């Protein structure tokens, strides 16, 4: 089982016991904008997803990890998606579920752990993320972690009757492991 450990948190692979946690997140309409979701997910579909979560990132082109605190409580999830080994790049996304758990350094540490894993173990050259223009917390988080704004996608997402811009950020691996 994959576990990446930091000071305040650790990242671990999905487990069958995460069904309710993931179901709650995937069906929270307030965060559908982040995941580009427009329909609820059944527990049945999420269970099928969990049954296949053991598959290799080279096969399924994604990796979802649970962010846990040192008390082993699930705080959120962090994802690698659009894994493209030929071009050695992937997208990443993060969500800390409860607002009271945000702005405590958990997201920062999770991004650091995941970036290190992607660069060192997956041998990626670059990571990118897409962030809505009004998601100031994520903009600050990724800028703080060295991601550079490389583009603005105008009128990219349609939400609640209006279009929103989305920034594209990129982090190039300059370290040699």
Burial bucket for residue 20 (CB in 10 Å: 0-12, 13-18, 19+) = exposed
Query: With 80 as the cut, is the pLDDT of residue 33 above it?
Result: no
Task: Tell me how long the chain is.
Answer: 177
Backbone φ, ψ for residue 106 (5° rounding): -65, -45
Question: What pLDDT, in 10s, does the model give residues 81-135?
Answer: 999 999 999 999 999 998 899 999 999 999 999 999 999 999 999 999 999 999 9
| CATH class (in words) of the domain with range 3-129 | alpha beta
* Gyration radius of the chain's alpha carbons: 16
pTM: 0.88
- Delimit the domains of the chain by residue range: 3-129
**Whether residue 155 has pLDDT greater than 70:** yes
């Amino acid at each position: 089982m994959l576990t990446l450990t930091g000071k305040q948190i650790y990242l671990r692979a999905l487990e069958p016991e995460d069904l309710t946690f993931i179901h709650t997140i995937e069906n929270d309409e307030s965060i559908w904008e982040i995941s580009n979701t427009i329909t609820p997910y059944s527990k049945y579909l999420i269970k099928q997803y969990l049954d296949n979560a053991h598959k290799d990132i080279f096969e399924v082109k994604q990796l979802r990890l649970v962010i846990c605190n040192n008390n082993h409580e699930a705080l959120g999830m962090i994802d690698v998606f659009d894994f493209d080994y030929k071009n050695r790049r992937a997208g990443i996304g993060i969500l800390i579920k409860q607002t009271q758990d945000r702005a405590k350094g958990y997201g920062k540490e999770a991004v650091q752990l995941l970036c290190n894993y992607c660069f060192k173990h997956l041998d990626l050259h670059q990571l990118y993320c897409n962030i809505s223009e009004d998601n100031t917390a994520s903009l600050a988080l990724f800028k703080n972690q060295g991601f550079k704004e490389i583009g603005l996608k105008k009128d990219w997402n349609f939400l609640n009757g209006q279009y929103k811009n989305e920034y594209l950020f990129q982090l190039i691996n300059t370290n040699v492991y």
